Every structure is written in C-alpha cells, then in structure tokens.
C-alpha cells in the first residue's frame, strides 16, 4: 500500500490482469499521449511515479527516481527506464482521463 490512493486504485485494477508487453513504439506512443496531457495531470503522473518509487524495497530517496530529469519545462522520464508495472500504471492512468 502506498500513501497515494490513486496509485493503490490503479494497482488494484491491474492485480488480476496479465502484464502487457510494451514494444518501443508502444512506449513512444504512450509517452506522446502523456506529454499532451494538461499540467494538472502531469503533476499526478509525477506523484504516481514518486509514490510508486516509495513502495519499493530500495527507493530512490534523493533526486528523481528511474533516471528522470528535471528540465525547465518540467520533468522528463524515459519510459524504458521505468519498471513494467509502473508503465502499466501510467497507461491505465492515461486511459482513465
């Protein structure tokens, strides 16, 4: 369990589903879709990533997790660097919105 109910809700939805495999093009398509979301959704995406990181046995405590980078325009994460479960969580989040 995390301290972020949205993450818990999405993880519960994924609990009994087969893991989806993402090819490079799938990841690129998802990244494009996520990038086009409004700023308030980007803040939720960041919170999902950070909250997911905090549920791990060895979370990144300083800086941004999963090799994400802080840019002037916001935060950038390469979906290839994220755990599969987190990519699925972001995919479900996108489809919810």
pLDDT, tens digit (0-9, with 9 covering 90-100), for 46-79? 999 999 999 998 888 788 899 999 888 888 999 9
Question: CA torsion angle for 11, 97, 59, 67 (degrees, to 10)?
Answer: 140
CB-CB contact of 2 with 54 (8 Å): yes
Full-model pTM: 0.91
Lowest pLDDT segment from 26-30, 55-59, 76-80, 81-85: 55-59
In the chain, the number of structural domains is 1
Whose CA is closest to 42, among 70, 13, 11, 3? 70
Q: Which domain holds residue 24?
A: 5-96
């Amino acid at each position: 369990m995390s301290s972020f109910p949205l993450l818990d809700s999405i993880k519960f939805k994924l609990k009994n589903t087969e893991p989806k495999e993402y090819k490079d093009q799938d990841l690129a398509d998802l990244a494009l879709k996520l990038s086009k979301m409004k700023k308030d959704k980007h803040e939720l995406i960041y919170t999902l990533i950070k909250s997911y990181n905090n549920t791990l046995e060895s979370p990144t405590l300083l800086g941004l997790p999963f090799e994400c980078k802080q840019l002037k325009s916001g935060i950038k994460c390469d979906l290839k660097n994220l755990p599969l479960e987190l990519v699925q969580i972001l995919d479900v989040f996108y489809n919810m919105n």
